[in-house]
Amino acid sequence: MRYRLTHLGEERERRYPSEVLLSRSRFLAPAVHSLRFYREYFKPASETTIEKERLRWRVLFQGTEFFINIDNITSPQLGSYLEVKSRTWSRLDAEHKSLMAVELIRYLGADPENAVDQEYLALQSTSD
């Protein structure tokens, strides 16, 4: 089992085709300390636990690097999701990769029109 800490930036920076979500990970690190340590150090106002099983691949699609994740959210029980990610370096790059992500989703046999444009934390809130 692997635990990670992720600090996200703005929830949605910009709208792209087929509801491609552009968000910024400001901080990503392995969670190597106990949960008690993080509670005492960060003193969060609230805490949400999301458990998932992830299959992850790095692929080159039409010469562009993407990361494909298949997540099965087990707690809360939200089901399985296909996630296509890529790093972007500029607005133009983000626009180009959002179009390519839609092509890749279709290539994988999924329908981009069924896209969910929320992070898992927001999905958990709407399922309560």
Contact present, 57 and 68 (Cβ < 8 Å): yes
* pLDDT on residue 50: 83
φ, ψ of residue 22 in degrees (nearest 5): -110, 115
Q: What is the pLDDT of residue 15?
A: 60
Confidence at residue 108, expressed as pLDDT on a 0 to 100 scale: 95
- Residue-wise pLDDT for 100-127, tens only, equals 999 999 999 999 888 877 777 777 766 6
Does residue 72 carry a pLDDT above 70? yes
pLDDT band at 8 (very low <50, low <70, confident <90, very high): low
**Digit-coded pLDDT (tens) for 76-93:** 899 999 999 888 888 888
For residue 33, is pLDDT > 60?
yes
User: 79: Cβ–Cβ under 8 A, 6 or more apart, which residues?
Assistant: 72, 73
Distance CA 100, CA 85 (A): 11
The neighbouring-strand residues paired with 21 are 15
Residue 100: enclosing H or E segment and its boundaries? helix 91-107
Q: What is the mean pLDDT of residues 44-71?
A: 91
- Model pLDDT for residues 37-53, shown as the tens digit of each residue: 989 998 888 888 888 89
Residue 9 has pLDDT above 70, yes or no: no
In Å, the largest CA–CA distance within the chain is 46
Distance between CA 70 and CA 126 in Å, rounded?
A: 21
Mean pLDDT across 21-26? 57
pTM greater than 0.75 (yes/no) = no
